[in-house]
Amino acid sequence: MSVSEKNYTTKDSIQVLEGLEPVRKRPSMYIGSVDSKGLHHLVWEIVDNSVDEYLNGHGDVITVTLHKSGDAITVADNGRGIPVDIDPKHKKSGLELVLTVLHAGGKFGDTDGYHFSGGLHGVGASVVNALSRKLIATVRRDGFEWKQNFVRGKPTTKVEKIAPFRGHGTSIYFEPDETIFKTIKFNPEDIKTHLEDMSYIHSGLKIFFKNDVAGETHDLTHPGGIPEYLQRMITEGQKPAVAEVPFSAARTTGDMMEVAVQWTESTDEVIRSYVNGIRTASGGTHENGFKSALVKAVRDYIETHKINVKGIAITSEDVREGIVGVLSVFVREPMFQGQTKERLNNPEMTAAVESFVRPALETWLNSNVTAANNIIYRVIQSAKARLASREAANKERKTAGSRRLNLPGKLADCKSTDVNKSELFIVEGDSAGGSAKQGRDNLTQAVLPLRGKILNGEGLTTTKALGNQELSDLVSAIGTGAGEKFDIAGLRYGKIILLMDADADGHHISTLMLDFFFRHMPELIKKGHVYIAQPPLYRLDVGKERLWAMDDNHKEEIISKLKVNAKYDVTRFKGLGEMDAKDLRETTLDRNSRMLLKVEIDNPLKADETFDHLLGKDAIHRYNEIMNNADKVAAEEIDV
């Protein structure tokens, strides 16, 4: 037995984490990440608990306050209030158990009064407590107001009876721990958008957002519910509807369900699904049942009315192209994939949703013949376009089959031909390209340098866009073609990584690149092949230690944590070309130490509008953005 094997088997090598230690040690296991997304997930966890009270008939008002500091949140509701009496088994109050013990709560039994809940794991409140430098819980119940304070998950006071109080409810104030998160500043717009989405799903719930940073209070209540939500999504996407009348249906018995859908002239499919009021961004079994119901109902209508499709095989993608849909289900015992609850795994929900949506949609189609015929025409046109695109691609492949692949000369290709292992770094300029080529792993990493800012392809046809040599070289290197000639089978790299300078120019080039991919090669993004590298903007030399900062805020955060009177030197990189190949490899290229952002499109309609505003011909949107936000930017932040 080797020394390492012997050490591994001794009891001293086994570490047992108690209480909330596992959460602080591995926060990403509980909230997905420690970036801005994970930070805001703390808010959603507490809000979900308040929504659970509403779902089960207790309380109908939730108020979320972003305090003036920008890094503190209060979530208050008028529910029953977390129990404060002492638990005889654990000798602690119910409030302390909920906030300090994983899997403690009132949602595990069959008779605890929670028919529907998004917080069935019982870890949400305790995880927020563990990852907060400070948390204050205020409970109003049993005729009194009660309070208890916590620091990084540990109680610093016992539950105190503050004063008599007639009402009921719970208020949670928390400040995220700056030693855990990369940033602790909340984004007011993200919070407002999330809460407004929830108000559509729970049409009887009153939701208020107080943004003390801007001195604003927003009433986000939407009694129109999901049908109103659907119309907002279509309006924001600025895509004309094929059928003016949307389809909507609701079931209020058993596992409650509600759905609304409308076909548009967009080529994208946009479905937002929810389980017990929680957004399931990655879909799941309920969404699978919804999609299946749409396809089967449309096919049944075509067969019943003997519509001649002239030998065209209608695929499920043809039916769903252009739909904008919202699905909300309430399940008594949801099985989520992970604590972040982004996917539903209950196997029975596929059949349950399909058996509800399909007959309702079939009835609607037969009752709205004009709308139905417009939808069927839309589906047939989609199928024809797909077949025409496939024929063009086949013709192109046959023509090019005997020709050698013509790769751009400035591409430093990798040796591997395994798509799953190979990566293409698109870098800004020959200087940065030189550093990247020296620092890369030439077995699996290829480098393609670009000369300055690429052509703005917003509003251009694919043919015109590819008239630009830089974009033409890029498409040749990727191997898929673009526009109607795009074929994912030709993909040469599993990861296409934008590696730009960490400054304003670099961000602008990244935006231009993303717009090109979104407009002319959208499947690359949809199938998860596009990433953005995160190179550092600063290097901090502290004695013999070398630290890296992503931006100004990160730099200041690192400096604030240094010992008093510690000496340090700060270097700001004007571009990646100034970094040694070794440093670039360590911070940005090495798979074991780098950080990549995966590009995902949560809402294609909103993305379409955003690119149009940022890069389109009408400059009024950019002017308004600058005028509305100029006062929020400090002079030293402007990159001239």
- Number of domains making up the chain: 3
Give per-residue pLDDT as tens, 125-161.
899 999 999 999 999 999 999 999 999 999 999 999 9
Q: Which helix (H) or strand (E) holds 134?
A: strand 132-141
CATH code of the domain in which 354 resides: 3.30.230.10
Q: Is residue 518 part of a domain?
A: yes
So what's the pLDDT on residue 629? 67
Amino acid at 121: H
The rounded distance, in Å, linking the Cα atoms of 17 and 274 is: 34
Task: State which amino acid sits at residue 498.
Answer: L
User: By three-state DSSP, how is residue 432 classified?
Assistant: helix
Distance CA 469, CA 476 (A): 10
Instruction: Report yes or no on 583 lying in a domain.
Output: no
Query: In this structure, are 90 and 233 located in the same domain?
Result: no
Q: Which of 448, 495, 435, 451 is nearest to 475 (CA)?
A: 448
Question: What is the distance between the alpha carbons of residues 577 and 571, in angstroms, rounded to a whole number?
Answer: 14
Does 163 share its domain with 203?
Answer: yes
In a domain, residue 551? The reply is no
Among 203, 219, 235, the domain boundary falls at 219
Same domain assignment for residues 187 and 244: no
Choosing from 364, 389, 414, the residue where a domain stops is: 389
- Structure-token pair, residue 497: 């990584």
Q: Is residue 209 part of a domain?
A: yes
Q: What is the CATH number of the domain that holds 429?
A: 3.40.50.670
Residues 6+ apart with CB under 8 A from 533: 425, 497, 498, 499, 500, 588, 594, 596
Whether 280 is covered by a domain: the verdict is yes
**Contact 389/324 with Cβ under 8 angstroms?**
no
Q: What is the CATH number of the domain that holds 48?
A: 3.30.565.10
Question: Is residue 47 located within the same domain as residue 187?
Answer: yes
Residues 360 and 264 in one domain: yes
Specify whether 191 is located in the same domain as 236: no
The verdict on residue 174 lying in a domain is yes
Q: Kindly state whether residues 261 and 281 are assigned to the same domain.
A: yes
> Which letter does DSSP use for residue 217 in this model?
E
Q: Are 289 and 353 in contact (CB under 8 A)?
A: yes
Does 129 lie in the same domain as 192? yes
CA separation for the pair 122, 52 (Å, rounded): 12
Last residue of a domain, one of 160, 189, 219: 219
Domain that holds residue 151: 21-219
Please tell me whether residues 241 and 98 are part of one structural domain: no
Verify that 111 and 144 share a domain, yes or no: yes
Q: CA neighbours within 13 Å on the CB side: how many for 15? A: 4
d(C-alpha 129, C-alpha 133), whole Å: 8
* CA angle, 591 then 596 then 600, to 5°: 135
The secondary structure of residue 404, as a DSSP letter, is: P
Same domain (yes/no): 208, 268:
no
Instruction: Give the active site residues.
Output: 428, 501, 503, 505
Q: Tell me how many helices (H) and strands (E) the chain has.
A: 21, 24
- 179: in domain: yes
Identity at 159, one-letter amino acid code: V
Residue 413 lies in a domain: no
**Statement to judge: residues 313 and 236 lie in one domain:** yes
Distance from C-alpha of 186 to C-alpha of 196, rounded to nearest angstrom: 16
pLDDT beneath 70: ranges in the chain: 1-19, 103-123, 338-340, 389-406, 452, 629-640
How much of the chain exceeds pLDDT 90, in percent?
A: 41
Structure confidence at residue 139 (pLDDT): 96
